[in-house]
Amino acid sequence: MVRVVLVIAMSLGSFLGFSQETTTNKSFDVVVTINNIQSNEGTVYYVLYDSAEAMMNRKAIQRQMAIVKDGASAIIFTNVKAGVYSIVCFHDENDNKQMDFNEMGMPLEKYGVSNNAINPYGPPNFSTTKFDVIDTNLTFEIELF
């Protein structure tokens, strides 16, 4: 009897382990749209971070760029594994491939973040812009400020 219970327990344990492994190996899409762009000039750059440290050191796990058409822009981050992420984007209106700042360090170009959680006193903060990818594709609409 003990042997039968042990065999059943081991079988269930291996089945559950297999089930969990396939779930964590799934990847998802994160769709990002911006609809309040004032000018069709330039390019919008998007970056996806997976930690506060990566965000602080500008080590994006994915980067995308898109044109602006009719005041809107959209991209898809693909193959995103379950985890915690943050998105930062900016409209490079003069197409110099970088965000421009004034002498005081304030942005001269419009930018946005996931959760639309703009930090008025400094650069974007991972803790306020983070979101979870768990078991489904996600869609975000980001506003530029």
What confidence score (pLDDT) does residue 20 get? 45
Q: Is the pLDDT of residue 21 over 50?
A: no
Does the pLDDT of residue 36 top 90, yes or no? yes
Fold classification of 27-141 (topology level): Immunoglobulin-like (2.60.40)
Determine the pLDDT at residue 1: 45
Q: For the whole model, what pTM was predicted?
A: 0.82
pLDDT band per the 50, 70, 90 thresholds, residue 4: very low
Q: What is the pLDDT of residue 24?
A: 59
CA atoms within 13 A on the CB side of 107: 20
What does the pLDDT average to over 14-43?
A: 77
Domain extents for the chain? 27-141
Beta strands in 27-71 (DSSP E): 27-34, 43-49, 62-67
